[in-house]
Structure 1
């Protein structure tokens, strides 16, 4: 059967209120769940986005296999009651899962467990039946434990749109955070950490260990089909996942409080995901619904707000240490850049932003992003390639006059290069392709250049004294000149690599 559910993390300040609210419902059911999850030492199931568990539900054992569905919220689920806590893989014969188990590289072993106190209620909205599961407990992997505090909204019957509406109402009321990681995903990561690090971790320490690196897109993305709807939904959903997952880390999912450098990495990769999504929508603009355009405009406002904090991180965590190492005078007297706005963490956890992310996800899951008549036009794919070609021509034109462009125009050129690079990812391009790799290098060099401009302006206005200002300006002028040369050389190489972008070149062979 197909399972579709929305998962929201419950921050500590709101757990008591949410539990009290749930207990007011006339028909609630409380049940203890204890589950064992199995995989091979090579993670054969996890690598195929599958999870196999044995779970005690009250007095009954149930064997469950979950396989990836069509989107982030969907799973194919196979449930089989068991008389005892032992696996029976024979039940998957003559099912789509048979091939999965036939290809296992080693015997299955129990890797981690979950222990959960679940409170269940059912709500009917219009003709839709929704099961709400309030889960509190922990994941256990060897010596490590990770807390569970989440609420799930599962469609039992009816329309998924009603599930989104109910989840959004609870998100707003209890200030919840959108969480895409399943229990099995977190458990797998916790087990992998445990076998590499013997020290026991729990609570916030375990959460920080699992989020040691920001979420990056999986490598080797290949479009399944080459038509406008498939290209858009596959790519945009992937980019939104990068936004949501890093937003959860930045907002403090699992009660973690990441240090500044780690928060900066979440912020950077979250904004990269936002830029990827915006670039995707720019390419598909002729086919977007009015509502999708509206979501894009809202996302852009948040992108700019987060950008102010990204610039502060760049100044304080990246360039400032280099300036100090070079001999910046009166460095100890220089205060960290301030802002009248709230912190990046608070922005990420804010209800308006989390609500917007849920609305973005709703559009993709319900496939409400594209105009139906336009996407079915026979020339749609050719129009798409033509738009890419026009973007590349604009980049070529500006590249020829690069050294004569002012800083604002150089920044615009970088944005266009980012847009083209991220658009090419929709067609399966990666660093293995020379043209894509050079685009990435040009983006990096131009990024260093733009950061140097920002830093130059900041020290000009905020230096503690004349000596500090002169030192910073001299050092940054040298950095600007170096970045200009690198950018120019890369742009020349880029133009030599590719004259045009054609349909034949973009369609994966």
Structure 2
């Protein structure tokens, strides 16, 4: 069993020729690779984010099992060379005794031992080059070919940076230079994920939702925040990869924004801002870059929510036809273009680097217990929420929106800190946070739609119908918001019990 430390990038078509010249130096090697990937009829391996393949590498065959690792850089990999002439038969016993092999056995047993069958295949020409970067040795693997499933196929054009030796920080620094030079786009979708979506007849990977995280009660702050950062980055990068590659749907954008809010919540609580931080501290520019990215993505999500929710309801209520998008001003932001921007790609690499252990020679100071370190930021956030919840009747739209954002942060941090606090009081708090967030969310969507309706009045007096209908809806939502906030204000946070 080995743990791969690698990053994969998609190559924009106009940049391929220059990239090929950069990789195919005199010491580079080329090799054709042809692989068949296997799964159950119910796609149990794909759902568990595992990949099982037989690959011909020149004249040799290798059977490989891959599974998720502990972070965005890591994947578990178990390779077994298979002797003999011709294509060998698949045999999962070759992976017995490895961590991934044991996980595969459990997965198949839980599923009732379904048969494994070939689902899709890849054929690529790989150009491989090994180079040194600082204290690291890195292999570059440029793959150009296709993925096939039945009579469907899609082109494949990607480059992988795999760390052979040295610190992961050097791998990220090297990748960042190549991203800047060649316009590479970080892509968390593996070949097996591309093949699965093709075999299933899907246009792309489905939206990725937040995944549960449970921390050890005794975890220190370093371990806890690394796990929390990794968990949130998985959701962010998976949705961003599909949106940047296309096609995507509005739910990708929604889940990306959820992931970004969870990520920013972790950065705010587990890496609290320090007024005396060093000039080279990466956190302030990271926070600023995340905020700058979140604002236009939020505007795009508001437009989606308007066009898919309240505007159709308005039409059903008898409103005259009205545009659901702004009638003047700048064009709405293109989320995919924002995600493909060089600054966004560098931001992803910086966030991945933040979750790595220090590679400095000076040992890090002892990390405090996570439960006590996070209790302070959470308690401050809780006091702000309770204060605004008590005076909800006097809050304007902006203050209500700020309260909702704080409730979301509190909810995400309580979920991500699962295991640090007693389960029952944490569950009771979440049961009160969720309806308060939902009630304020409906109110915020109505406020956004109402502001849009008012902006249309100058061009079309018929928009007064929308203004009146939305005003009445906002008033009708107030009692539900107030009731949810009163109930939330009576909760006891689990971190106060320690």
Scaled to the shorter chain, the TM-score interval is 0.7 to 0.9
Match of 2:234 in 1: 241
Residues in 1 aligned to 2:462 and 2:287: alpha-carbon distance in whole angstroms: 42
Match of 2:470 in 1: 476
Contact 2:453/2:464 (8 A) holds in 1: no
- 2:355 corresponds to 1:388: no
The 1:77/1:344 distance shift into structure 2, 3 A limit, reads closer
| Aligned partner of 2:304 among 295, 310, 313 | 313
| SS of residue paired to 1:491 | helix
| Aligned partner of 2:404 among 387, 406, 414 | 414
Residues in 1 aligned to 2:101 and 2:252: alpha-carbon distance in whole angstroms: 38
Shift of 1:26: 1.8
Contact 2:327/2:456 (8 A) holds in 1: no
> What do you get for the CA RMSD once the two structures are aligned?
3.0
Shift of 1:183: 1.4
Contact 1:287/1:375 (8 A) holds in 2: no
Residues in 1 aligned to 2:146 and 2:439: alpha-carbon distance in whole angstroms: 45
Contact 2:315/2:321 (8 A) holds in 1: no
The 1:372/1:433 distance shift into structure 2, 3 A limit, reads farther
TM-score by length of 1: 0.85
| Aligned partner of 1:100 among 82, 100, 103 | 103
Q: How many residues align?
A: 478
- Structure 2 stretches lacking a partner, 5+ long: none
Contact 1:228/1:375 (8 A) holds in 2: no
Match of 1:397 in 2: 387
- 2:1 corresponds to 1:3: no
Contact 1:9/1:151 (8 A) holds in 2: yes
| Aligned partner of 1:118 among 123, 126, 129 | 126
Structure-to-structure mapping, 1:103-502, within 5 angstroms: 103=106, 104-105=108-109, 106=113, 107-191=115-199, 193-194=200-201, 206=202, 208=203, 210-211=204-205, 213-218=206-211, 220-224=212-216, 226-251=219-244, 253=245, 256-258=246-248, 262=249, 264-286=250-272, 290-329=281-320, 331=322, 338-339=329-330, 342-366=333-357, 376-377=367-368, 381-428=371-418, 433-463=427-457, 465=459, 467-496=461-490, 498-502=491-495
Residues in 1 aligned to 2:451 and 2:40: alpha-carbon distance in whole angstroms: 55
- Structure 1 stretches lacking a partner, 5+ long: 195-205
| SS of residue paired to 2:89 | coil
Structure-to-structure mapping, 1:66-77, within 5 angstroms: 66-77=66-77
| SS of residue paired to 1:222 | coil
Contact 1:247/1:270 (8 A) holds in 2: yes
Residues in 2 aligned to 1:330 and 1:465: alpha-carbon distance in whole angstroms: 13
| SS of residue paired to 1:433 | helix
Shift of 1:366: 4.7
TM-score by length of 2: 0.86
| SS of residue paired to 1:214 | coil
| SS of residue paired to 1:329 | coil
Contact 2:77/2:100 (8 A) holds in 1: no
Residues in 2 aligned to 1:96 and 1:285: alpha-carbon distance in whole angstroms: 33
